[in-house]
Structure 1
Amino acid sequence: MIRQLKRLIDQAETVVFFGGAGVSTESGVPDFRSSQGLYRQYQGAEKFLSPRFLKKDPVTFYTFYRKHFLSDKELTPNQAHIGLAELEARGKLAAIITQNVDRLHQKAGSKTVYELHGRADTFTCRSCGKVYTKDQIRQMDHVPYCSCGEILRSDVVLFDEGLEPKTHEQAIRAIEQADLLIIGGSSLRVYPAAGLLRYQKPGGKKVLINLEPGNTPVELEINRPIGEVFGELMQLYEMEERE
């Protein structure tokens, strides 16, 4: 299967990667919908992570947010992040579209990354526009406030919010150009992000790499940890270079 994946990549003119929470689980980031995901552990997690709940009960919102998104634990890219960055450097990957907010793709060296759900490492005041880092937020009281007096919130797209228009449009354009779309670590159940796949041009091929089987017609499906898959894929490229 890994050789078939490599062959599909090599034959394609434009390859785009569409990634979900499963891309980062091997880096210690919990996903949402798997058997070990946040939704199974915490009923009502979607409610906690909504702008309405932040306004209604900021203390409970930040109790949940600090525990799951402001950990002091240093996250490192796994083989999937590293492999994707290497594919881009080799000219074999045009763009990454990610639903994750951990910025591990950038940490691995990827350049063209469209973050559909924003980023968790910065907080922007909705009143005055001042930007704070995650480290600054950690040092603040439980509910962080801007110097202007406004409650701060991270630059993450919360539930019930629409995608940022510019990023949304960039992702659509990338998918429209893809003759191979690799979908990794995603159940394809999160909308509107999952709905972007319909923009792929007619005749374009899809590959799904996910632990759980999908229900989308694809050229190739690999139900294995995505880090292992990309680790083996990059070994094939390295072997090819040595021959």
Structure 2
Amino acid sequence: MTDMIRRAAEDIAAAEYVVALTGAGISVESGIPPFRGKGGIWDRVDPMTFGHIDTFEESPEKVWRVLIRDLKTIIEQAEPNDGHRGLARLEAMGRLSTIITQNVDGLHQAAGNTDVIEFHGNCARQRCMDCGNRLANSAVDISALPPRCGCGGVLRPDWVFFGEAIPEDALRRSGQMAARCDMMLVVGTSAIVQPAAHMPIIAKENGATVIEINPERTPLTGHFSDYLIRGRAGAVMNGILAALEPLMAERSR
């Protein structure tokens, strides 16, 4: 793996415009369970019932009790890990321009990344269904469910439920960034959820180098990604930064 990490550092140093696509795997190390896969949230909660906007609109109290309440608490307590901090460091070094994330935890912003396209919205804040006001989780009282805005409207996560469309701006900008970049880092995603999983394909079709950082192979591996570095996001990002920083120092002399 050392050779692959060194190769990634060299490729990142040489790239002109780097974009990252991240998924649940990067946040698992912060204690946030994935939605899909073994042990994921959808293993214990029916996604097409409790994850669907129709159910929420019909019975917000039930959806808050079964799905959102515990997830809100987990996200409030979570902190960025070395994977998030590594991507923030890449931005600070001028090596990463944009993150496209499928995650709803806000940890990329907490780590310091400034241009984060949230494909599925954000559960670190709540939105009033009546007035549209947005509140940080810490400002939302869940002693009574569903919690309500000061205007009396029901609060909901500012995320995309099943049955809702991906935000038009997020979809548009993601496609633009994928087509523009000359390198895409794919970190902690199974690359099966569309349309986010199509972004590395757009990047590859436009000539970009695609690097996967994942514990396991994905549908991209051997087809659209140039190579896969197998491992946990935090450890791999630490290794890449350790190899990249001397390279960038040499280039600045």
TM-score, normalised via structure 1 length: 0.91
Is the partner of 1:66 in helix, strand or coil?
Answer: helix
- Which runs of 5 or more structure 2 residues have no equivalent in the other structure? none
State the one-letter code of the partner of 1:220: Y
Say if 2:242 is the partner of 1:235: yes
For residue 57 of structure 1, what is the aligned residue in structure 2?
Answer: 59
RMSD of equivalent CA atoms: 2.0
Say if 2:111 is the partner of 1:108: yes
**1:47: Cα distance to partner?**
2.5
State the one-letter code of the partner of 2:243: L
Counterparts of 1:180 and 1:68, CA distance in 2: 33
Say if 2:132 is the partner of 1:129: yes
Say if 2:215 is the partner of 1:208: no
CA 1:47–1:196 in 2, change beyond 3 Å: closer, same or farther?
A: farther
For residue 171 of structure 1, what is the aligned residue in structure 2?
Answer: 174
Is the partner of 2:103 in helix, strand or coil?
Answer: coil
**1:73: Cα distance to partner?**
5.3
For residue 13 of structure 2, what is the aligned residue in structure 1?
Answer: 10
Counterparts of 1:78 and 1:160, CA distance in 2: 31
CA 1:45–1:192 in 2, change beyond 3 Å: closer, same or farther?
A: same
State the one-letter code of the partner of 1:81: H
Counterparts of 1:26 and 1:191, CA distance in 2: 24
Q: Sequence identity of aligned pairs in percent? A: 32
**1:182: Cα distance to partner?**
0.9
Aligned 1:85-164 pairs, distance under 5 A: 85-164=88-167
For residue 80 of structure 1, what is the aligned residue in structure 2?
Answer: 83
**1:46: Cα distance to partner?**
4.2
**1:140: Cα distance to partner?**
4.5
CA contact (8 A) 1:70 1:138 kept: no
Is the partner of 1:27 in helix, strand or coil?
Answer: coil
TM-score, normalised via structure 2 length: 0.88
Moved more, 169-178 or 199-208: 199-208
Counterparts of 2:193 and 2:215, CA distance in 1: 17
- Which runs of 5 or more structure 1 residues have no equivalent in the other structure? none
